Chain A
Amino acid sequence: MFRRTMLNGTLAAAALPVVARAQGRDLTVVSWGGAYQDAQREVFFRPFQQQMRTRLLEETWDGGIGVLRSRIASGANTWDVVQVESEELLIGAEEGLFEPMDWAAIGGRDAYMPEAVNDHGVGAILYSFIIAYDRARMAQGPENWADFFDTAKFPGKRGMRRGPKTTLEMALLADGVQPLRVYSTLATPAGVDRAFRKLDSIKADLAWFERGAQPPQWLASGEVAMTVAYNGRIAAANATDGRNFAITWTNNLFTLDSWVIMKGSPNRARALEFLKFVGQPEVQAGLPPRIPYGVTAVGANGRLTSAVLAQLPTAPANIATALQINDRFWLDNLDRLTQRFNTWVSR
């Protein structure tokens, strides 16, 4: 009997891969976690599951084109729909990491604002990287990036996003480079050196976050005196956790995230159903009141109150001095600068 049990066990182990492959996988949607994903759950994920009577699995990631490359190249990809940053969309599309977007299936190109339309992705939100600080701890906070890098004037740790994108731009802005000249400066080796020198000047005071949920948490606990943050999460912390965080919009870095469908996803049809659902203006209009990010469906903004609109990165006062992140620059330079940044930060 014992031998038979063992034999069965071995057979079962050998048969596992076959069984595993035969089982269908639920639609897996990947986003950025924290308050943002909480809002998405309320507005998108739960209603979608209820309406379609289907199961949706959530996953959280911290970004990085290498993560997507590894998933596709290792054959171990289990993600279907992923929210990606703008340069990840371009790089991934070029490298064949994403399925082409079936625009007819998600309402047509005209249903979205032009910036949100891409052959491999559909825009999800518009947002800004801003400076945030806690008014409860600092009455008069930093007014621009130069202040952010001025540890004599404003002592204490600073949170920045781990990675070259946004960080190098901010360093140059702090060093006095005009917003319009940031990317042309970064395109030269001397410009990159200049940015790293500026970062070197406060390296000991920098704390690096990887997830968008960290900056408000670090501010709340006093871990950092000020931090780079996503505008929406700071507003969400004020609204739901009763915080008094301030946002400095001067020279904020403005950009757009997109939804993509991973190459070879067995759930492509359901993924498109999901994107169609979250692309409806009346559904999208539910998001900004919970977390003030701009949305992409034509007609969604018309459903928002002026109080909500004023908090969005696209409000005239907020976008006036904004620098739009240059996707083309990062498409060409992300790998090289990431390598340099990682070496620099790990030492």
Chain B
Amino acid sequence: MGRGLIWAAGVLVAAFLLAPILAILPLSFSAGSFLFYPLPGLSLRWYRDFFGSDFWLPALWNSLVIGGAAAGLATVLGVPAAFALWRLRGALRAVVLGVVLAPMVVPVIVVAVALLLAFGPVGLVATHAGMIVAHAALGVPFVVVTVLASLEGFDAVQLRAAAACGAGPVRAFLRVCLPQIAPGVAAGAVFAFATSLDEVVVALFIAGPAQRTLPRQMFAGLNDTISLTTAAAAAMLVVVSVVLLLVVGWLRRRAPG
């Protein structure tokens, strides 16, 4: 098969991946209200609409707060677990890893309904706390996997050396290990944040109107009338995603090994 043919196919597929996103971004700067081209003119009216509405700005704020807190919780819980898993071997490791990674493969609808029924009676439905706990559980596997990967490049002998110099295990971890795997930890936190920022099904089931996140608000917008304000919101989410992608790329280059 000709190399040229593969190039043509590959570039077409790459275009297919990018085109939908690139196609809607300019629409958010339209001066009109139609969802097609050519644009009748350029304006920021849909962004003004976004910042002036009763719903979008609180949704953005909720996304950042819930995402940040969920990422923090997932990191605080995930890093020590990853450190322990790194040194575990055998069946125990497989079991623990299985539990920790389960949120990645269990269909999110099952998680959403299960949490609705479990959180309802304890008063966690329609609270920020409930959303943070749920999103932290969904984000934890990404923290653990990423930190485990960066621990691969860490030489365990250093910990023994630190111990020989009289450092306690906690001190050894904090002073010797953590600085070296810091980029991995940060990348894990970013992954967890991105997971929360992307999540909509759990939000659909357990968030109340005061916890609406940006994707949840977009879902409502898409269900109702698709206005270009939704396109503006999409554009803002794309920008946030690009920033996160760049941050992870930068962190990865700083990772050891």
Interfacial residues, chain A to chain B (CB-CB below 8 A): 1-3, 5-6, 9, 13, 16-17, 19-21, 23, 25-26, 28, 33-34, 41, 57-60, 74-78, 211, 213, 217
Contact = CB atoms under 8 A, between A and B. Distances in A.
Contact of B123 (A2, A20, A26, A217): A20
Contacts of A19: 129
A83 to B, nearest CB: 15
Contact of A3 (B122, B126, B170): B170
B109 interface: no
Given A2-B174, A17-B122, A78-B126, A9 B77 contact: yes
B138 interface: no
B127 to A, nearest CB: 4
Contact of A60 (B77, B80, B125, B220): B220
Majority SS at the chain B contact face: helix
Interface stretch (B40-48, B113-121, B187-195): B113-121
Nearest to B174: A2
Contact of B124 (A6, A20, A60): A20
B154 interface: no
Nearest to A210: B223
Given A9-B73, A211-B224, A76 B116 contact: yes
A13 B126 CA distance: 16
B119 A76 contact: yes
A20 B130 contact: yes
B93 to A, nearest CB: 20
Given A59-B209, A76-B116, A76-B117, 4 more contacts: A25-B126, A25-B208, A28-B209, A57-B209
A6 B76 contact: yes
Given A76-B117, A211-B224, A20 B77 contact: no
Contacts, number: 77
A72 to B, nearest CB: 10
Interface of B: 54, 73, 76-77, 80, 116-117, 119-127, 129-130, 133, 170, 173-174, 206, 208-210, 220, 223-226
19 contacts: A2-B80, A6-B76, A13-B133, A16-B124, A16-B129, A16-B130, A17-B122, A19-B129, A20-B127, A21-B123, A25-B126, A28-B208, A34-B224, A57-B208, A59-B209, A74-B120, A74-B121, A75-B121, A78-B126
Contacts of B80: 2, 6
Given A6-B80, A16-B133, A60 B224 contact: yes
A3 B83 CA distance: 13
A109 B140 CA distance: 56
B224 A213 contact: yes
B209 A6 contact: no
Contacts of A57: 208-210
B82 to A, nearest CB: 13
Nearest to A221: B35
B170 A1 contact: yes
A2 B209 contact: no
Give 5 closest A-B pairs by Cβ, nearest first. A76-B120, A78-B126, A21-B123, A17-B122, A57-B209
A213 B116 contact: no
Given A13-B133, A74-B117, A23 B77 contact: no
A23 B127 contact: yes
Nearest to A9: B76
Contacts of A211: 223-224
Contacts of B120: 74-77
Contacts of B123: 17, 20-21
B34 to A, nearest CB: 10
Contacts of B220: 33, 60
Contacts of B225: 34, 213, 217
Nearest to A41: B54
Nearest to B123: A21
Nearest to A220: B225
B124 A2 contact: no
Contacts of A17: 122-124, 129
A217 to B, nearest CB: 5
A78 B211 CA distance: 12
B61 to A, nearest CB: 15
Nearest to A217: B225
Contacts of B121: 74-76
B167 to A, nearest CB: 14
